[in-house]
Amino acid sequence: MEKHERNIYYSRILGKRDPFLLKGMGEALKRIIKAVNEREKIVIYGYYDLDCITSVSLLLLVLKYLNADVEYFVSDDRDEDFSINADIIKNHINFLGASLIITVGCGINSVDEVELCKELGIDVIITDYHKCKDILPQAVIINPNQGGCKYPFKSLTAVGVTFKLTQAISMYYQMKCINKYLDLVMFGTLSKYSLVKGENKLMVTQGMYHLNYTNNYGFKALIKVYNITTINKENMYMLAHSIIPSMKNRRYADNARIAIELFTTTNMDRAEQIAKYLKNEIKGNELCIL
């Protein structure tokens, strides 16, 4: 991308670094542009924690805004490596006719699974923040912790990395509305409380500001159902750690998909219905610190 194209709206996102400092960003953007413009099937792949839920929701909203042919899949694995599931690729994503998978918060250690995707004719863009092993998948990778990445802030969360990708997308397509999604970034980042520092802290602060004026029906419903009168860090932290029921609940993956619907629905009645459901789910269960 030309320098002036990258900086068209960058000045509107004060205090955050150029997303093109992230290794792999230019290549990822080119592949996404092709997929969007040619109406290729894109599948967003994530896990069921709140960081990934907000990542999937954010990228889904941005790509749908661009009229992309996009779906998502939330894995119900409990994989400590946060790998892509080979069976899901073969038995689900391949049958969707996907030509591009974009992972959020996972996939950095999925060497064999990416090879499988290549055999099936599916390109893979990995966005992740976990520490990298010596051998990386043969895919386009956006991860501040990969070797050779000059991005100075190494503690981005999954939704933080996803937001950097959507920043790059917004610069190319000249989207003026990208900052409004900082409420999702704030929410996912707060679920990783130990990482709320540096650029993450800035995104949390700006996200709470934008939440005061949000047009996201999911957040409006949560604020109403939980009777939140003040948008501050304490209330948002409480809410972030109350939305997902205990991991002991066998419905954790289903509830993750329901939460994504909450944050992406365009129907206020449906949003309130989901918010009430999620609030009721937490009753009688231990709070899950994701």
Residue 112 pLDDT more than 70?
Answer: yes
The predicted pLDDT at position 169 comes to 97
* pTM for this model (two decimals): 0.91
What mean pLDDT do residues 145-166 have? Answer: 96
Question: Residues 188-218: pLDDT tens digits?
Answer: 999 887 788 999 999 999 999 999 999 999 9
Burial of residue 286, with CB atoms counted within 10 A of its CB: 0-12 exposed, 13-18 middle, 19 or more buried: exposed
Residue 289 pLDDT more than 50?
Answer: no
The predicted pLDDT at position 196 comes to 87
Structural domains of the chain, with CATH: 3-282 (3.90.1640.30)
Residue 93 pLDDT more than 70?
Answer: yes
In this prediction, residue 105 has a pLDDT band, given cuts at 50, 70 and 90, of very high
**What proportion of the chain, given as a percentage, has pLDDT over 70?**
88
Question: Residues 21-76: pLDDT tens digits?
Answer: 999 999 999 999 999 999 999 999 999 889 999 999 999 999 999 999 999 999 87
- Residue tagged 């413009």 (tokens): 37
Specify the 3-state DSSP secondary structure of 143: coil
The predicted pLDDT at position 81 comes to 74
Lowest-confidence range among 10-24, 129-143, 239-253? 239-253
Would you give the DSSP letter of residue 167?
Answer: H
Question: Residues 14-30: pLDDT tens digits?
Answer: 456 899 999 999 999 99
